[in-house]
Amino acid sequence: MTDLRSLTLTELEEEMKAMGEKPFRAKQLYGWMHQRLAVCYEEMTNLPKTLRDKCRERYDYTVLRPVRVQESALDGTRKYLFALADGNTVESVLMRYRHGNSVCISSQVGCRMGCRFCASTLDGLERSLLSSEMLEQVYAVMRHTGERVSHVVVMGSGEPLDNYDNLLRFIELLTDENGQHISQRNITVSTCGIVPKMRQLADRKLQITLALSLHAATDEKRRQLMPIAKRYSLQELTEACAYYFEQTGRRITFEYSLVKGVNDSDRDAEQLAGLIGRLNCHVNLIPVNPVKERDYVQSDRRAVDAFQEKLRRRGINVTVRRELGRDIDGACGQLRRRYMEERRTSDIF
Ligand code: SAH
């Protein structure tokens, strides 16, 4: 069945026409779905019952249900675990900043990229999310809090550029003036570096921020941490970043998770500066979040500061990401994993 909440307004108008409905019905329906965030047709009181019934028969209507919500006692960050219609679950995170509320969403159930330090990929990819399932993560948080969301980061579980078409449709719907109308500039998409898709995205000339998970400054080291580095070299990757900037005028954010004894030495910092020094970019240093299935250890405060200082002295824009939600399984994929483990054990007993 067609997924109603993934359709653009133009597509919805076509659907209404094909059903013999007046075009203005599309706008009404769209408003209920993307502005008023209705969870069912019953709410759509100004639509005739016959139309609501027809829609129910013909389309899937995606709604996410929170199955677990954890709020950090430290910083008010909230982590949501949502149930999808097929029984799968995804994680989203609400972060409250001075500049507004930001939601970090997942783009896939699981992930097939295999990064060594990441919990989302441990069981591989289950499936990609529909555009509506990405949108609903934002909408469901808005319904739950009653607050507006101004920023969205696609940095949860999954590789967004491995779900490219649904990602672009999601961005189109999220920024639409008939929906939530979130500014492209307030959207960040984080990728492990699928080079052809980065170039394709650049050609769309969107004003979103592209964040690239770098984590190492030599091919050899990056290959140890991220299997995708076996497909694309750092040379190809940095060229694609330069191209993205050329096409969009948006500077790239490089994410670099610091792992003790692996990528946090002075020499690593030097090599990183050499690699990206000429690019128009910003570096986000993230002390790696320990994942219990892996033995990676967070760099200590001194190493993080020294690393930052070294980059700064080389004229690179660099910040250390404030760690939010440390007490609530903040890192990618941790909450979902724990939930699944608990369910598994409760099935046994
Ligand atoms: N697949 C995309 C987006 C999801 S991961 C990507 O690779 O960018 C979002 C970010 O969190 C990435 O930079 C990823 O490398 C990082 N990450 C994953 N697990 C982490 C952990 N345990 N500690 C610190 N960062 C982690």
pLDDT in tens, 319-341: 998 766 666 665 656 677 777 77
Quote the pLDDT of residue 340: 73
Tell the residue nearest (CA) to atom 12 of ligand 1.
Answer: 213
Q: If DSSP codes are grouped into helix, strand and coil, which group holds residue 128?
A: strand
Question: What's this model's pTM, rounded to 2 decimal places?
Answer: 0.95
Using CB atoms within 10 Å of the CB of residue 127, give its burial: 0 to 12 exposed, 13 to 18 middle, 19+ buried.
Answer: middle
Q: Which of left, alpha, beta for 39 (phi over 0: left; psi -120 to 50: alpha)?
A: alpha
Q: Ligand 1 pocket check: which of 129, 155, 288, 326 to mutate, most ligand atoms within 8 Å of Cβ?
A: 155
- pLDDT tens for 77-132 read 999 999 999 999 999 999 998 899 999 999 999 999 999 999 999 999 999 999 99
Q: Which residue among the candidates 15, 91, 133, 255 is catalytic per the annotation?
A: 91
- C-beta of 291 in contact with ligand 1 (< 6 A): yes
Q: Residue 14's pLDDT band (boundaries 50, 70, 90)? A: very high
**Class level of CATH domain 2-60:** mainly alpha
Measured in angstroms, how far is the CA atom of residue 215 from the centroid of ligand 1? 9
- C-beta of 106 in contact with ligand 1 (< 6 A): no
> Of 323 and 160, which is predicted with more confidence?
160
- C-beta of 289 in contact with ligand 1 (< 6 A): yes
Query: What is the rounded average pLDDT of the residues 200-227?
Result: 98
Locate tokens 């430290």: which residue? 74
Atom of ligand 1 nearest to the CA of 294: 22
Measured in angstroms, how far is the CA atom of residue 331 from the centroid of ligand 1? 8
Quote the pLDDT of residue 75: 83
- C-beta of 229 in contact with ligand 1 (< 6 A): no
71 has catalytic annotation = no
Measured in angstroms, how far is the CA atom of residue 347 from the centroid of ligand 1? 31
**Superfamily name with CATH number, domain 65-348:** Aldolase class I (3.20.20.70)
Domain boundaries, the chain: 2-60, 65-348
CA distance 1 to 297: 46
Q: How far apart are the first and last CA of the chain?
A: 38
Total number of residues shown for the chain = 349
Quote the pLDDT of residue 76: 82
Residue 114 DSSP symbol: -
- C-beta of 155 in contact with ligand 1 (< 6 A): yes
- C-beta of 162 in contact with ligand 1 (< 6 A): no
Decide if pLDDT at 177 tops 70.
yes
Q: What is the CA 267 to chain-centroid distance, rounded? A: 31
Quote the pLDDT of residue 72: 87
- C-beta of 332 in contact with ligand 1 (< 6 A): yes
Quote the pLDDT of residue 328: 64
Q: Residue 11's pLDDT band (boundaries 50, 70, 90)? A: very high
Q: What is the average pLDDT score of the chain?
A: 94
Decide if pLDDT at 213 tops 50.
yes
Measured in angstroms, how far is the CA atom of residue 295 from the centroid of ligand 1? 16
- C-beta of 334 in contact with ligand 1 (< 6 A): no
Q: Residue 150's pLDDT band (boundaries 50, 70, 90)? A: very high
Measured in angstroms, how far is the CA atom of residue 159 from the centroid of ligand 1? 9
- C-beta of 257 in contact with ligand 1 (< 6 A): yes
Q: Residue 348's pLDDT band (boundaries 50, 70, 90)? A: very low
Quote the pLDDT of residue 321: 83
Decide if pLDDT at 349 tops 50.
no
Atom of ligand 1 nearest to the CA of 119: 19
91 has catalytic annotation = yes
CA distance 255 to 274: 16
Largest interatomic CA distance in the chain: 69
Measured in angstroms, how far is the CA atom of residue 255 from the centroid of ligand 1? 8
Closest to 163 measured CA to CA, from 108, 206, 111: 108
Tell the residue nearest (CA) to atom 20 of ligand 1.
Answer: 118
Measured in angstroms, how far is the CA atom of residue 339 from the centroid of ligand 1? 20
